[in-house]
A and B are shown apart, each in its own frame.
Chain A
Amino acid sequence: MGLVLPLIVTLGALLAPLGIGYGAEVVLKETVMGKEYRIEKVDGEPGNFWVYWGEEKDKWEPRVWQPKELKEQGPIFYYNMGKKLGEEEKRFPISAVKLMREDIITATQFHDAYFTNNMLPNYMNTFQDNFFAELYNVKGKRLTMGGFEFMKQYRQAIDYPEGEPQRKYVFVQNEPEESSGVGMVQIVYMGAKADDNFLYLPAVRKVRRLAVASVQDYIARSIVRNEDNALSKPQPTQEYKWTGESGLCKYRGKEYPGHGTAADGLLYQNDPNYKGEDHTWVEGIGEPGRIMEVVSKDPGWWYGKQVRLFGLLTGYPWQEDTYDQKGRLIRQMVTNQGIYVAGFKDPRFHWGTIKGIEQSTGFSNRIYSFNIGLDLGIPDDFFQEKTLLKELKDLNAWR
């Protein structure tokens, strides 16, 4: 007996690099940004996994709101989904995510090329969806906003000619009733050239050219600001950098009564407006992430620093913390992604929900997306003023 135990230990040590440990089955072993990323099943706990990245170790457990593929596969799901999107189905030439993972793109370039908070359109030529937002104050008063949007991409490379259209958008708001029918066409250009914005107001039945609004302004009925929007390009007053640190995406954040937590994936399964597959989503827990810091050089900016965590396998912006100039946490956002999209055989990520809490005001916010359409061939001439004059009623407006 005295000899058997050391023999087992020695065998274990020899076999460990091969992914065979003390009864722990290794599901995945990859090198990500120079560190070993490993997923192992937890002994005696089916459905649970250990996730390792370098020295970091965390336990992954399935959650009730997660889709069955994620619950069944565990965190290797991110690797499978990210690889499928990023390498096998390259519909769009740029993979800012791949470039980030290979560390050959600056944080500024990544921010410019990336589709903030909604990674999927990075891979698709056109995107459309309905969106719906809820804003709550500390007393639970609720305000909502909804509408639909269309997007088309034009950027073919990271270094695309300055002044060329990068993306074009049409937004139409359809609730609340007072704002119903308000529409906007936005053309985002490469480089410093200012966006073209056209606003349709039902009250006057006209399209108005808009001056570029302050990126610090709130988007109505949300805690999201124009700067957070995918439409916003890198700001000259901000410094974007990859920090030396990165880590596994984790659950964190305190509980807010009635609203759940900002930083975990628990959402309101009993929400009567949303049913079925759209209600399942993922939140990146267990995926290795890279951290970008955005520091404002303007002492009057609405924040001093933002810390963003991007999944290195999927590219999703799972978490973001915002601090004021004194280092106080003023906002937390998480992005949850759904995985079923109409028209595709296999599950794939789509923009699920953005959730956030603004500590400085006590407001919390949820923004949903549904009725997603990808690469449906929206024509180029749809993204013009005349589209707004038609007073679009739904997502089929361009067909």
Chain B
Amino acid sequence: MEKEEYTMKKNIKRTISFLIFCFLLVPWGVDAFELGPFDASFYLLNQTYIRAWHGPDDIMQSRNEFNFELTYSEIPHTTFFINLRPFYDAVYDIEDEGTGGNARHLRSGWAHNLIRNDDRDPFLRECYLDYHLKSTDIRLGRQIVAWGKSDGVYMLDIINPFNYRNPSEFKEELTRIPLWMLNVNQGICDYGTFQLLWIFDKYRSNMFPGFRISQDGYHDWTFNTVTLSNELYVIFDDFFKNALGIPEGYPVVFREPAHNFKNSKFGARWSGLWKGFSYTLNYFYTWSDPFDWPNTGLAATSYAIKRRADRISVFGLSLDKYFEKPLNGVVRLETAYTKNMPFYLPDTNLQERDQIGYMLGYDRWVHKDWLLSFQLWQNFILDPVHHKNAYVGFGATEFDFNTFTVANGLIDPIVSNLTAYLAHDGFFMGDTGHVEFFFLNNLNEGYKWFWTKFRYELTDQINLAIGMNFFWGNEDDLFGQFHDNDNIFFEIKYGFI
């Protein structure tokens, strides 16, 4: 107990030191012009999530971020930009339940990014050089590129992976993982723009809590299926070592694609305007997230797991147009066809299938200044094994050792979701009050997610926000599994330009 108290005090001191460090970095009383030829801006942000309705009343996250941006554009046709974003999540120091209570297993991967975790939340967030000449724009460096016209639906928006440390984080900019790439845009007369991407970064994937087996399901936002896999691997490993006497146990070996030109990701996009339609045609040659392949090719006979990524190709189209009466709104469409995507069968073997998804959206203003938006999103796994409960979803919690199959959390090859979004930016003096509501309803399994946030600009520099997340569904579906994570969250942000 004394040792725990000492560790807790030491960690609290570390947290305070970090905040003081950020405080000292802030150019108090200094404006951007005083940084010589550089334009600068920064913000300090605290996001605290509290589980308030189910389970222990604990803090799930108390993330402190310092974001610093510097721009230099004195050289003609050229701009240099750098964005640093150190963070420290104090939940590992101040909470002894949930995520915080498992600091021993989770701290190294999720607490901060000071000289670590560059693969999910880098300290050097963006760093690029822009060169512009006539119709050519070139951006070289670590950057973020977002494709598509959807909100919260990632069919074409897959250039940069995401950090799923908190899947309810609505501001995508905070959780995208930047990549080193060459991004070239060439305008072609009045016809449109052709974009080429060459992503020469190391292999990077979406990052989920629980990626390391040792993390088990300790993190509050670990998907059930990840927890189940981790626990199974521990069971198998123990069985192989102790029951079968195999010293290697049941290893899970992750082999990233080698970092070379051949393993780069390549993207191409054409965008244009035609008869009022703003459209894009997209192609992306990329890698999937890592999947766990049984080393013998068959789960039942395997004695090791090869965790590896597969090459996939994504072809897509997006378009939008404003329609006058009677629609008086914008209609958006996004569709993507993915070749050779792996899916887990209930027997834990993998099957590669093509999939096609589309999103149809509609946005309009209502009652003068409320923005209302709907999206219908459907995803089809082509040529499935079955038409019901065909593949393992993210919510599985049970494994039947008799049949050697995943016993729940299965999904259909066709998944349909409906989303609704409502926002108002015009409360109080100077439109300083903003409110948003978001609702997702799955039409197959019935799970739901509701998110809301109210933000108030107290001053030009200080923003305050309060919000909530609610999840409904079964324990073995995508959002129902997070029912105990219903939370209230607070944000305080100090920003300066």
Contacts and interface: CB of A to CB of B under 8 A. Distances in A.
A202 B173 contact: yes
A216 interface: yes
A176 B41 CA distance: 10
A175 B429 contact: no
B173 A178 contact: no
19 contacts: A135-B430, A142-B460, A177-B41, A177-B495, A178-B495, A198-B278, A205-B146, A206-B146, A206-B148, A208-B363, A209-B278, A214-B368, A218-B431, A220-B430, A220-B431, A221-B431, A384-B273, A385-B278, A393-B39
Interface in A162-212: 174-178, 180, 194, 196-198, 202-206, 208-212
Given A178-B495, A209-B330, A221-B432, 12 more contacts: A175-B460, A177-B42, A178-B493, A197-B322, A206-B148, A206-B149, A208-B363, A211-B328, A216-B368, A217-B426, A393-B39, A393-B71
A330 to B, nearest CB: 16
B340 interface: no
Contacts of B76: 396, 399
Given A194-B322, A204-B151, A393-B73, A220 B425 contact: yes
Nearest to A302: B368
A211 B364 contact: yes
A218 B426 contact: yes
A395 to B, nearest CB: 10
A390 B429 contact: no
Query: 9 shortest A-B CB distances, which residue pairs?
Result: A177-B495, A205-B146, A214-B368, A209-B320, A176-B460, A221-B430, A220-B431, A143-B430, A209-B330
B365 interface: yes
B135 interface: yes
Contacts of B185: 386, 389
B172 A211 contact: no
B81 interface: yes
Given A143-B460, A220-B430, A385 B271 contact: yes
Interface string A121-137: 00000000000000101
Contacts of B171: 203-204
Interface of A: 135, 137, 141-144, 174-178, 180, 194, 196-198, 202-206, 208-214, 216-218, 220-222, 361, 363, 379-381, 384-386, 389-390, 393-394, 396-399
A194 B276 CA distance: 11
A176 B369 contact: no
A253 B163 CA distance: 57
Given A177-B496, A204-B151, A218-B426, A144 B460 contact: yes
Contact of B73 (A176, A196, A384, A394): A394
Contacts of B151: 204
B172 A196 contact: no
Contacts of B173: 202-205
Nearest to A219: B431
A209 B187 contact: no
Contacts of B425: 220
A143 B432 CA distance: 9
A205 B178 CA distance: 12
Q: Which of B77, B151, B173, B176 has the most CB atoms of chain A within a 10 A radius of its CB? A: B173
Nearest to A174: B497
B367 to A, nearest CB: 9
A396 B329 contact: no
